[in-house]
Structure 1
Amino acid sequence: MRATTTRRTVGLVAAGVIGLGGIAVAGPALAGAGMFAATRSAPAAPGPGSGYGHHGNGYGHGMGAGMGTGMGTGMGAGYGMGSGMGAGACPGAGVTAPQGTLTDRQKSTLAAMAQEEKLAHDLYLAFAGRYPLPVFDHIAAAEAHHLATVRALLARYGTDDPTAGRAAGTFSDPAVQATYDRLLARGSAGRAAALTVGQEVERTDIADLRRALTGLTAPDVTQAYQHLLRASERHLAAFTAWAGR
């Protein structure tokens, strides 16, 4: 299962400058601090009945249709940790709200979101190759869907995609690369360290998304950020649950 999921999610790309755990560096930035703080440049435990429909009903308590009962049955025990704990599968569906208007700053924030999803994806993918914990594979797959959503919005608003052309684990900006390498090194110290890094990434993502929603009026981007926020909350809960095992 890990090999299949990993192959499916390899190759997502990003660039920029990222800070985590109180470290802030330059790049296309979200407003305020967090994962994308400092200098700026222009551009689950799943609940019942929620889900994109690509995760299936075995990721914890169940997600409705998804990939069907076959995957739910096969993955529920190891991935879901029992009823309702799950591994952070994502709520919501594709963006269906109409297009609105974004300021230049909001476009930069949207570009930064792509970088944030890329960083999370690449870290979790790397950890999935080191530790026999399905939570990393499945949340990496979720981050792949998130990045696809953000990329579609970037195209819709005519904003450059800063994640284009970068392989997994590689970043064009030395500061981004240093941040990724630092977090990867921390998470490579052991299972517990990797889960801690996952929690930190998701906490920062949550804070950044909440800031990004402030003053936002575009219905489609608002809908996407709300989906991403709920997903990050589920990812955080999943990493926390696994850390407590």
Structure 2
Amino acid sequence: MAVSAPAQEQHMPQSEPTQSEQAAAFDNWLEQAGPRIAWRNDTINAIVQRMAPQLAQLPEGGTTAADLAMGLHRMSDGQLQAATAHQQLLDFEAAINQGVAAPSAKIAGGVDKAGLGDGSNLVFVPITPCRIADSRKADEGKLQRNVVRSYYKYPISNHGAESGCGSDHYSSIGNGDGISPALALTVTATQAEGSGHLSIKPFSFFSSFSETSVLNFRPGETIANSTVVAARTMDAPNLPDFWITPSQPCT
């Protein structure tokens, strides 16, 4: 016969773990996490060492090896593993070399339009509106709290994109050659699980998080906002163009 404990005993609060129990739990976690930590450190060190010659050539004030290492440490295991792929490393090198070739001198005051770059970088190129992503239909599903998701300036089927508005990084979304320095986006949030905000950040090797909100949302509401986000301008299709991060789960 099974005998239930009195209700008073069933609801007695559990005691806090002792200091020795906490230390044992931490040691156990460290033992299990040790191989993963070692892999991350070895991987990051290998990438930084490979990029060191290019970083050394950057103008004063440019990205340092410490900056690169810090950015890599912020990546998830999946992002870090993807960064070790041969094409990704080539894209890293291309981006750094692009910084090496850029002039280090600051632009003087009173700069006219021509001094800022060619006309294609200063002109909006109208395109037919197209839904390049929809998390309601995406393979990854709903955006999760404080989890960064990568997006491209061209449609990708597993991101829930519409069909018929360009199929690759040489699509019509750009200035004729597929390279657009920025995108005018309309972002819509719905099915939110709590009140929060959504941030969009241009792709960076060093941080995927942004403290700037482009859209505030609440449960039970569908709300949209328009913004302009800088996009990757080098031809490196394996790298994302921008990141979206919600503070609460939503689609």
Report the TM-score, using the length of structure 2 for normalisation. 0.26
Instruction: Find the structure with the greater CA-based Rg.
Output: 2
Higher helix proportion: 1
From the two aligned structures, give the one with the greater strand fraction: 2
Greater relative CO (CA pairs within 8 A, separation 6+): 1
